[in-house]
Amino acid sequence: MTSRLMWLRWSWRDLRQRWVLVLAIALTIALGTGAYAGFTGTADWRTRSYDASYAKLRMHDLRLTLTKGTTAPAGTLRRLVAGIPSAGRVRAVSERLVVPTQVAASHGGRRILVAGRLVGAAPAAAVDRVHVYAGRQVAAGESGRAVAVLERAFARHYDLPSSGTVRISGGTPVHYVGQGSAPDYFSPASDSGIPMIGESGFAVLFVPLATAQRLAGAPGRVDEAVLTLAPGTDPSTVAGQLERALGSGPTPLSGTVTVRADEIGYHALYEDINGDARFFDIIALLLLLGAAFGAFNLTSRVVEAQRREIGIGMALGVPRTRIAARPMLLGVQIALLGVALGLGVGTVVSRAMAGLLTDLLPLPVWNTPFQYRTFLLAALLGFALPLLAVAWPVWRAVRVRPVDAIRVGHLAARGGGLAPLLRRLRVPGRGYRQLPLRNVLRNPRRTALTSLGIGAAVTIMITVFGMLDSFDAMLGDSEHEANRGGAGRIVAQLDGYHADGSAQVRAIAAAPGVEGATPLLTVPATARHADGGSVSLIVELRDLGAGGWRPTLTAGSLARHPGGLVLSEKAAHDLGVRPGDSLLLRHPRRSGQAFTLTDSRVTVAAVHPNPLRTVAYLDRSRAGLFGLAATANAVEVLPAPGTDPARLEQTLFAMPGVAGVQTATEGVDALREGVGQLTGILDIAAGVTLALAVLIAFNAASISADERSRENATMFAFGLPVRTVLGMAVAESALLGTLGTAAGIVLGQGIDRWMVRVQLARTMPEIGFDVTLAPGTYLTALLLGIVAVALTPLLTARRLRRMNIPATLRVVE
Amino acid sequence: MTSGPNGPWGAVLDGHSVGRRSGWHATAEAERGQEVADVDTAVGTAGRAATGTRIDLDGVCRRYRVGRTTVTALDGVDLHVDENAFVVVLGPSGSGKTTLLNLMGALDAPSAGRIRIAGRDITAAGPRELQRFRRRTVSFVFQSFNLFPGLTALENVQFGADVAGREDAGGLAADTLAQVGLGDRVRHFPHELSGGEQQRVAIARALATGNPVLLADEPTGELDFRTGVQILGLLREQAQAGKTVLVVTHNREISRVADRVVELSSGRVVADGPPSAGRADVSELHW
């Protein structure tokens, strides 16, 4: 017992003697394991929170939506549902009227005018309930009055009070009495189907059904029904029955039925968890690997320093197991410290992630319990890592003959590695300038471990920033395409279908500040190709042969395929079509006052570079295909020179028949803001990465300073100044940093490519991303991987200046 | 003595630079009557005619704090070493020999007393001046060689020439290595050389500086007899070639080859004079 205590005390002394290094190793392990636990643990509590939130507000299982611009008398859709064979499996139905509008919420001197939506439903609806975070619900007695609950994320973004007044299209005031959200709008999606459009660019007003009907001028009308089904019911079976029922009633209707899993907001949230989980797994694994390399390197060094003592033990006949016990005990102590600190780091990362996500998503239920299982796994890794790192050099040490181990300078005089291979390679200048390169080469294992540790950090940085670059490039392309040849274009959405020569269209064209006005028609459609899947489109019918704005064509030609469809590159890729191919377009067609869905075969004429997959164009001459010849539901306005676009927007907003006003780039701006919110998560990853890279570099520099102390003392004895010795250390670190950065950039490019092409394509299929790495990202990687790493030896300057030269020169290994 | 253009050490360096300008001069091996196996005894023939430098220590004390205890390593040492002398500092372990060497090499500072090299008081010099002093006036040979493991033998020697600011450091290093009998080992790394070869590289590195004072701390401590004798022969030649050479050792036999033996005990000089048993040639040594 006494003997064991003596060994324990001895290892404890080892630990105290090298406490800075021990703390550095423990911190490295803590960063790796803590980030691993913190990042990978989010998937579980996010899924639980989403499930609980959707359940609490009774998210619909199916949504039946009539074709845009059409409505049906209230009760029609409820009766339609009651008539399907599986009506008994339907638990609840709620009819709604969803009206696109514009919301003006100017507040505190800030002009706020964004696209929005009135969602009218019964105040006590059993499906898609509204959860109020601030203020109150709309009371039953307020039905029909212009009273609403304002969507919370929008309100919070602009720091709006919990109650107030906003104006909708036509300048109608709406008083909101609270801030809340409904399941469809946890993650709002724009009309073009792009998720995460950003809370700043989209405002939803939850109003009683009667209020929506009154404000939209559609009394007694609805355009949507949402349903919940009994547990165990197959939603696609019921959806099929509903689709058939739509066209078979006495008054045929056209519309679409969407199952919950296909709801863009819902799908995006869960897919986001999976995408994030895959992303975080990679980041966490890289961090763990970086930490492993760093810890391995450091711990090996601690044990290497004891090799002579190990040799003495062997010479004295101490059993190998007992010899190994002391360094292994040191490893255990480092491991325990690393795990303890790792739990702390993990908790911090986990809390930061929870704070960020709860802030980002206004869910009614957020359940973020401590993830014991993930932390246990991380703790096991954190514990095993230093033990393995200790075991390897101990194994090497006990294999050395005692006579070698106890020989003075056994380790000091070694100069092997790759250095002999390069004995003829000389760096220009004085002899000692050879030292940094030789030092890097003479211990390839340590060089590789340090470089890989730095490389792992650079890899993460390239991956994280590379994704942001791809987002930026996508937004830039989109913006460039929207602005090209027609900067300042404004699109006024009409409240329905109007003839080109109607009073509403003429009034817009004649509005002050309008230089030109072009009627547009936008219709939803689904494109199908025999060899590919299906893609939802928003087809914009505009005059593609005349002047004004036209999309850029990156392939194909309208002259060759007149009247053909112009698809986005992403849609063409996903459908597997090229210009000249034909595809089937399922679209609404007006017949009298009703719409029916019909299939038409169209030729793909060309592709355009807008990264948004849904955006497609047809020449207006094809409007007859939709039964909408010479009809418009939007007007594109070009402001007259010198006109303030904001003032023109306000003017158009106040005109009768105008449902919304947007600049051509507003959608992109909103998307940019949405992306901006997500970068907070990446910032946490970048912060941990930076800390790890600097720690690894500092530790490497610190080890070098320790190991080279006798060499440094010799240089001082020969009169070399501290700055020269430091300069050589900086050069050596720069070499290590260069190796690590090169490896990190190569690996980072590969992972970034995979993240963008596979993960982002799965999470956001509606957006086409190109793999882009901006020069700034490379520069950041070089700054971190080479410059920051190269400068870390400067932190050892004080130690060098205070070196006891005679004592160091006499140190025996 | 006037201060030269090189600052406080100008006087020392002036003398030094005169030696440099005068180039290498031949000292016939036969003149010295020495012959040491396996060593090119013609070091002096290619050695630089660096004029030795006088060293004066007056009342030098060096005390260390070890916990709450004060240890006196040197206690009032007065020592005056003439130019071109080959002095052995002798004493048992802990007598203060290495401390004395470190003080003379400006690696350490005395707690009391004054050290003058070539008439300049180094105890009053600042860190930069001391660095310059080490670059241009003294050079060291260590017991455990302290070669740079990442540099070849040639590059280690070139290091010495480089830091001392000598021109054609590469050629000088090659010549010096040839002079210590390692002309065929120039591209070997230290771990590829025997202990004796490593010490010869260390001596070559010190010689390549061209500095007038050579300080050697137990230079034969890790070597076998035969190699140790070779090394002593080399050092002796340096004194004959005009350098001031101080060798610290605990081996009384070695002191027989010195011009003068300074014996230390408990930090004090207890004997100072020619070898008590008479001066011997390196070939006569036994241990």
Instruction: For residue A678, name the pLDDT band (cuts at 50, 70, 90).
Output: low
- Select the CATH number that applies to the domain covering B7-284 from these four: 3.10.150.10, 3.20.20.10, 3.40.50.300, 3.40.640.10: 3.40.50.300
Q: How far is A715 from chain B (nearest CA, A)?
A: 9
- Taking residues A564-585, what's their average pLDDT? 92
pLDDT of residue B261: 95
Inter-chain residue contact B148 with A432, CB threshold 8 Å: yes
User: Which of A138-147, A337-346, A411-420, A804-813 comes out lowest in average pLDDT?
Assistant: A411-420
Instruction: Flag the least confident range among A220-229, A463-472, A730-739.
Output: A463-472
**Cα–Cα distance list, A348 to A341, A353, A354, A359, A381 (Å):** 11, 9, 10, 16, 18
DSSP secondary structure letters along A528-588: E-TTS-EEEEEEEEE-SSSSS-----SEE-TTTSTT-EEEEHHHHHHHT--TT-EEEEEEE
Average pLDDT over residues A62-88: 91
In chain B, residues with a C-beta closer than 8 Å to the C-beta of A412 are 144, 149
Percentage of chain B lying above the pLDDT 90 cut: 36
pLDDT on residue A147: 95
pLDDT for the residue numbered B281: 82
Q: Which residue has the higher pLDDT, A87 or A170?
A: A87
* Count of C-beta atoms within a 10 Å radius of residue A232: 6
Name the residue facing A419 among B131, B144, B189 (closest C-beta).
Answer: B189
Higher pLDDT, A556 or A398: A556
β-pairing, A113-121 with A90-104? antiparallel
Chain B residues in contact with A719 by the CB 8 A cut-off are 131-136, 163-164
Higher pLDDT, A547 or B242: B242
What residues form DSSP beta bridges with A202?
Answer: A115
Residue A500 CA to its chain's centroid (Å): 42
Span A340-387, pLDDT tens digits: 888 888 888 888 888 877 877 778 898 877 777 888 888 887 788 778
The neighbour count for residue A752, using CB atoms within 10 Å, is 23
| N-term to C-term CA, chain A | 31
Q: What is the pLDDT of residue A207?
A: 96
More confident residue, A763 or A246: A246
Average pLDDT over residues B155-159: 90
Instruction: Answer with the residue of higher pLDDT: A657 or A87.
Output: A87
Q: Calculate mean pLDDT across residues B146-166.
A: 88
Band (pLDDT 50/70/90 cuts) for residue A412 is: very low
For testing the chain B interface, which of A718, A722, A723, A802 should be mutated: the one with the most B CBs within 10 Å? A718
Domain extents in chain B: 7-284
CA of B141, closest CA in chain A: separation in Å?
10
Q: How many inter-chain contacts (A to B, CB under 8 Å) are there?
A: 116
* Amino acid, res. A797: A
Cβ <8 Å between B155 and A430? no
Query: What's the pLDDT at A654?
Result: 79
Q: What percent of chain A has pLDDT over 70?
A: 91
pLDDT mean across residues, chain A: 83
Rounded Cα–Cα distance for residues A561 and A365 (Å): 53
- Identify the CA nearest to B155 among candidates A442, A807, A723: A442
| pLDDT exceeds cutoff 60 at A92 | yes
Out of A274-288, B168-182, B209-223, pick the least confident: A274-288
- The torsion of the CA quartet A406, A411, A414, A416, rounded to 10 degrees, works out to 110
Residue-wise pLDDT for A199-241, tens only, equals 666 889 999 999 999 998 899 999 999 999 999 999 999 999 9
Percentage of chain B lying above the pLDDT 70 cut: 82
Least confident segment among A57-66, A119-128, A387-396, B197-206: A387-396
**Of the candidates B128, B134, B155, which has its C-beta nearest A434's C-beta?**
B155
Lowest-pLDDT choice from A80-94, A692-706, B150-164:
A692-706
User: Where does the pLDDT of residue A5 fall: very low under 50, low under 70, confident under 90, or very high at 90 and above?
Assistant: confident
Q: Inter-chain contact A718–B136, Cβ cutoff 8 Å? A: no
Query: Which chain B residue shows the shortest CA-CA distance from A414?
Result: B191
CA distance to partner chain B, nearest, from residue A417 (Å): 10
Lowest mean pLDDT among A409-423, B104-118, B213-227: A409-423
What's the whole-number average pLDDT of chain B? 79
Rounded Cα–Cα distance for residues A160 and A224 (Å): 29
Q: What's this model's pTM, rounded to 2 decimal places?
A: 0.68
pLDDT tens by residue, A620-650: 999 999 999 999 989 999 888 888 888 888 8
Tokens (6 digits) for A264: 């863009």
Q: Is pLDDT of A813 > 50?
A: no
- Look at A700 and A434; give whichever has higher pLDDT: A434
- Write the DSSP symbol of residue A767: B
- Does the pLDDT at position B34 exceed 60? no
Distance from the A703 Cα atom to the nearest Cα atom in chain B, whole angstroms = 16
CA distance A615 to A567: 7
**Residue A503, phi then psi, degrees to nearest 5:** -60, -40
Nearest CA in chain A to B215: A717
- Residue in A closest to B205 by C-alpha: A718
B36 pLDDT above the threshold of 60: no
Compare CB distances from A718 to B149, B155, B163 and report the shortest one's residue.
B163
Q: Mind spelling out the 3-state secondary structure of A138-168?
A: CCHHHCCCCEEEEEHHHHHHCCCCCCEEEEE
Q: Report d(CA A206, CA A176) in Å as an integer.
A: 9
Over residues A109-149, the pLDDT tens digits come to: 777 777 788 999 987 788 999 999 999 999 988 999 999 99
Residue of B nearest to A709 (CA): B146
AA letter at B46: A
Using 50, 70 and 90 to split pLDDT, how confident is the model at B11?
very low
Instruction: Say what angle helices B195-208 and B153-163 make with each other, to 10 degrees.
Output: 20
Distance (Å, whole) CA A377 – CA B41: 69
Q: How far apart are CA A65 and CA A222, in angstroms?
A: 10
Report which secondary-structure segment, H or E, holds A270: helix A264-304
The pLDDT of residue A488 is 77
Distance of residue A745 Cα from the nearest chain B Cα, in angstroms = 29
The model's pLDDT over A484-505, given as tens digits with 9 standing for 90+, comes to 765 678 888 887 788 988 988 9
Name the residue with higher pLDDT: A403 or A115: A115
